[in-house]
Amino acid sequence: MKAVGYIRVSTEEQATQGVSLDAQKAKIEAYAGLYDIELIEIVIDAGQSAKSLNRDGLQRVLGMLDSGKCEAMVIVKLDRLTRSVKDLDWLLENYFADKFSLMSVSEQVDTRTASGRLVLNVLMSVAQWERETIGERTSAALQHKKSQGEYIGGVGFGYTVTGKKLAKTKEFKTVQLIQRMRGDGETLTAIANHLNSEGIKTARGGKWYPMTVSNIIKREDRLQAG
Protein backbone atom coordinates (compact mmCIF):
# COMPACT_ATOMS: atom_id res chain seq x y z
CA MET A 1 0.00 0.00 0.00
CA LYS A 2 1.24 3.48 -0.93
CA ALA A 3 0.75 6.08 1.78
CA VAL A 4 1.61 9.68 2.56
CA GLY A 5 2.66 10.72 6.05
CA TYR A 6 1.33 13.89 7.61
CA ILE A 7 2.87 15.77 10.55
CA ARG A 8 1.91 19.05 12.18
CA VAL A 9 3.06 21.35 14.95
CA SER A 10 1.01 24.28 16.16
CA THR A 11 3.65 26.87 17.03
CA GLU A 12 6.42 28.60 15.14
CA GLU A 13 8.83 27.70 17.94
CA GLN A 14 8.17 23.97 17.48
CA ALA A 15 8.50 24.40 13.75
CA THR A 16 11.86 26.12 14.11
CA GLN A 17 13.31 23.77 16.67
CA GLY A 18 12.02 20.76 14.78
CA VAL A 19 12.08 18.43 17.79
CA SER A 20 8.42 17.49 17.56
CA LEU A 21 8.59 17.31 13.77
CA ASP A 22 11.55 14.94 13.85
CA ALA A 23 9.88 12.75 16.46
CA GLN A 24 6.68 12.50 14.41
CA LYS A 25 8.62 11.71 11.26
CA ALA A 26 10.59 8.93 12.97
CA LYS A 27 7.41 7.31 14.32
CA ILE A 28 5.69 7.38 10.94
CA GLU A 29 8.71 5.87 9.19
CA ALA A 30 8.95 3.11 11.81
CA TYR A 31 5.22 2.38 11.49
CA ALA A 32 5.45 2.18 7.71
CA GLY A 33 8.37 -0.23 7.93
CA LEU A 34 6.57 -2.45 10.45
CA TYR A 35 3.41 -2.80 8.38
CA ASP A 36 5.10 -2.92 4.97
CA ILE A 37 3.67 0.41 3.81
CA GLU A 38 5.35 2.27 0.94
CA LEU A 39 5.75 5.79 2.29
CA ILE A 40 6.01 8.06 -0.74
CA GLU A 41 6.35 11.34 1.18
CA ILE A 42 5.89 13.02 4.55
CA VAL A 43 4.07 16.34 4.31
CA ILE A 44 4.58 18.97 7.01
CA ASP A 45 2.30 21.69 8.35
CA ALA A 46 4.58 23.79 10.55
CA GLY A 47 3.10 26.38 12.90
CA GLN A 48 -0.47 25.47 11.96
CA SER A 49 -3.48 25.13 14.25
CA ALA A 50 -5.83 22.13 14.07
CA LYS A 51 -8.89 24.37 14.36
CA SER A 52 -9.41 24.32 10.60
CA LEU A 53 -8.81 21.88 7.76
CA ASN A 54 -7.65 24.78 5.58
CA ARG A 55 -3.95 24.04 5.97
CA ASP A 56 -1.60 23.98 2.99
CA GLY A 57 0.02 20.69 3.95
CA LEU A 58 -3.23 18.89 4.73
CA GLN A 59 -4.88 20.11 1.54
CA ARG A 60 -1.87 18.84 -0.40
CA VAL A 61 -2.24 15.41 1.22
CA LEU A 62 -5.93 15.27 0.33
CA GLY A 63 -5.02 16.28 -3.22
CA MET A 64 -2.54 13.40 -3.41
CA LEU A 65 -5.28 11.00 -2.34
CA ASP A 66 -7.72 12.44 -4.90
CA SER A 67 -5.16 12.16 -7.70
CA GLY A 68 -4.42 8.52 -6.94
CA LYS A 69 -0.80 9.05 -5.94
CA CYS A 70 -1.44 7.16 -2.71
CA GLU A 71 -4.13 5.10 -1.00
CA ALA A 72 -3.64 6.01 2.64
CA MET A 73 -2.62 8.67 5.11
CA VAL A 74 -0.46 7.97 8.17
CA ILE A 75 -0.38 10.25 11.22
CA VAL A 76 1.28 9.94 14.61
CA LYS A 77 -1.75 11.00 16.64
CA LEU A 78 -5.30 12.04 15.87
CA ASP A 79 -4.84 15.56 17.24
CA ARG A 80 -2.15 16.14 14.61
CA LEU A 81 -4.93 15.80 12.02
CA THR A 82 -7.83 17.58 13.72
CA ARG A 83 -9.26 18.39 17.14
CA SER A 84 -12.82 18.74 15.84
CA VAL A 85 -15.36 15.91 15.74
CA LYS A 86 -17.19 17.81 13.00
CA ASP A 87 -14.06 18.03 10.82
CA LEU A 88 -13.25 14.38 11.50
CA ASP A 89 -16.75 13.36 10.41
CA TRP A 90 -16.23 15.29 7.18
CA LEU A 91 -12.89 13.58 6.56
CA LEU A 92 -14.36 10.16 7.25
CA GLU A 93 -17.35 10.74 4.99
CA ASN A 94 -15.37 12.21 2.10
CA TYR A 95 -12.10 10.29 2.32
CA PHE A 96 -11.67 7.58 4.90
CA ALA A 97 -15.04 5.83 5.06
CA ASP A 98 -14.35 3.61 2.05
CA LYS A 99 -12.11 5.29 -0.55
CA PHE A 100 -8.89 5.72 1.41
CA SER A 101 -7.35 4.54 4.68
CA LEU A 102 -6.36 6.58 7.70
CA MET A 103 -3.82 5.10 10.08
CA SER A 104 -2.81 6.59 13.44
CA VAL A 105 0.34 5.30 15.11
CA SER A 106 -0.43 6.20 18.73
CA GLU A 107 -4.07 5.13 18.81
CA GLN A 108 -3.48 2.06 16.62
CA VAL A 109 -6.43 3.09 14.43
CA ASP A 110 -6.85 1.74 10.92
CA THR A 111 -10.00 2.85 9.08
CA ARG A 112 -9.73 -0.01 6.59
CA THR A 113 -12.03 -1.86 9.00
CA ALA A 114 -15.46 -0.93 10.42
CA SER A 115 -14.16 -1.44 13.96
CA GLY A 116 -11.27 0.92 13.20
CA ARG A 117 -13.69 3.64 12.10
CA LEU A 118 -15.81 3.09 15.22
CA VAL A 119 -12.80 3.37 17.52
CA LEU A 120 -11.73 6.54 15.73
CA ASN A 121 -15.10 8.20 16.30
CA VAL A 122 -15.20 7.16 19.94
CA LEU A 123 -11.70 8.51 20.59
CA MET A 124 -12.46 11.86 18.98
CA SER A 125 -15.78 12.18 20.83
CA VAL A 126 -14.07 11.53 24.15
CA ALA A 127 -11.31 14.02 23.30
CA GLN A 128 -13.84 16.74 22.49
CA TRP A 129 -15.77 15.99 25.69
CA GLU A 130 -12.56 16.39 27.70
CA ARG A 131 -11.78 19.75 26.06
CA GLU A 132 -15.29 21.07 26.67
CA THR A 133 -15.23 19.88 30.29
CA ILE A 134 -11.90 21.60 30.91
CA GLY A 135 -13.27 24.75 29.26
CA GLU A 136 -16.33 24.71 31.51
CA ARG A 137 -14.22 24.25 34.66
CA THR A 138 -11.88 27.05 33.60
CA SER A 139 -14.77 29.39 32.87
CA ALA A 140 -16.39 28.64 36.24
CA ALA A 141 -13.10 29.28 38.08
CA LEU A 142 -12.58 32.59 36.28
CA GLN A 143 -16.14 33.71 37.00
CA HIS A 144 -15.66 32.89 40.69
CA LYS A 145 -12.45 34.95 40.82
CA LYS A 146 -14.20 37.81 39.03
CA SER A 147 -17.08 37.71 41.53
CA GLN A 148 -14.51 38.04 44.32
CA GLY A 149 -13.19 41.19 42.74
CA GLU A 150 -10.03 39.62 41.35
CA TYR A 151 -8.71 40.88 38.03
CA ILE A 152 -8.53 38.00 35.53
CA GLY A 153 -7.57 39.64 32.25
CA GLY A 154 -4.23 40.26 30.61
CA VAL A 155 -1.98 43.04 31.93
CA GLY A 156 -1.26 45.58 29.22
CA PHE A 157 0.92 48.66 28.83
CA GLY A 158 0.42 51.11 31.68
CA TYR A 159 -0.94 48.56 34.13
CA THR A 160 0.16 46.01 36.72
CA VAL A 161 -1.63 43.66 39.11
CA THR A 162 -1.23 44.46 42.78
CA GLY A 163 -3.02 42.40 45.41
CA LYS A 164 -5.10 40.72 42.66
CA LYS A 165 -6.32 44.14 41.55
CA LEU A 166 -5.50 46.00 38.34
CA ALA A 167 -3.40 49.08 39.10
CA LYS A 168 -1.93 51.84 36.95
CA THR A 169 1.81 52.31 36.55
CA LYS A 170 3.83 55.42 35.72
CA GLU A 171 3.54 54.44 32.03
CA PHE A 172 -0.20 55.11 32.21
CA LYS A 173 0.55 58.77 31.45
CA THR A 174 1.46 57.59 27.95
CA VAL A 175 -1.92 55.89 27.69
CA GLN A 176 -3.56 59.16 28.68
CA LEU A 177 -1.48 61.00 26.08
CA ILE A 178 -2.62 58.58 23.38
CA GLN A 179 -6.26 59.04 24.38
CA ARG A 180 -5.91 62.83 24.47
CA MET A 181 -4.26 63.00 21.04
CA ARG A 182 -6.86 60.67 19.57
CA GLY A 183 -9.60 62.78 21.09
CA ASP A 184 -8.05 65.82 19.40
CA GLY A 185 -8.43 64.10 16.04
CA GLU A 186 -4.85 62.91 15.52
CA THR A 187 -4.36 59.88 13.28
CA LEU A 188 -2.91 56.63 14.59
CA THR A 189 0.20 57.22 12.50
CA ALA A 190 0.66 60.74 13.86
CA ILE A 191 0.34 59.47 17.44
CA ALA A 192 2.87 56.69 16.83
CA ASN A 193 5.33 59.13 15.24
CA HIS A 194 4.99 61.52 18.17
CA LEU A 195 5.64 58.80 20.75
CA ASN A 196 8.70 57.62 18.84
CA SER A 197 10.03 61.17 18.46
CA GLU A 198 9.71 61.64 22.23
CA GLY A 199 11.72 58.47 22.84
CA ILE A 200 8.82 56.70 24.53
CA LYS A 201 9.09 52.91 24.27
CA THR A 202 6.37 50.29 24.10
CA ALA A 203 5.92 47.65 26.81
CA ARG A 204 8.56 45.52 25.05
CA GLY A 205 10.94 48.42 24.61
CA GLY A 206 10.29 48.80 20.90
CA LYS A 207 8.90 51.40 18.50
CA TRP A 208 5.29 52.46 18.25
CA TYR A 209 3.21 51.65 15.17
CA PRO A 210 -0.34 52.62 14.23
CA MET A 211 -1.58 49.12 15.14
CA THR A 212 0.11 49.33 18.56
CA VAL A 213 -1.61 52.62 19.24
CA SER A 214 -4.94 51.22 18.03
CA ASN A 215 -4.64 48.26 20.41
CA ILE A 216 -4.09 50.62 23.35
CA ILE A 217 -7.17 52.66 22.44
CA LYS A 218 -9.36 49.58 21.98
CA ARG A 219 -8.19 48.10 25.27
CA GLU A 220 -9.04 51.27 27.16
CA ASP A 221 -12.48 51.35 25.54
CA ARG A 222 -13.08 47.75 26.71
CA LEU A 223 -11.91 48.50 30.25
CA GLN A 224 -14.15 51.54 30.49
CA ALA A 225 -17.12 49.61 29.10
CA GLY A 226 -16.67 46.61 31.38
Residues carrying an active site annotation: 10
Task: State the DSSP string of 108-133.
Answer: TEETTSHHHHHHHHHHHHHHHHHHHH
Query: Radius of gyration of the chain from Cα atoms?
Result: 25
- What is the C-alpha to C-alpha distance for residues 15 and 78, in angstroms, rounded to an integer? 19
- What is the C-alpha to C-alpha distance for residues 207 and 226, in angstroms, rounded to an integer? 29
- What is the C-alpha to C-alpha distance for residues 101 and 109, in angstroms, rounded to an integer? 10
Helix (H, G, I), strand (E, B) or coil at 24: helix
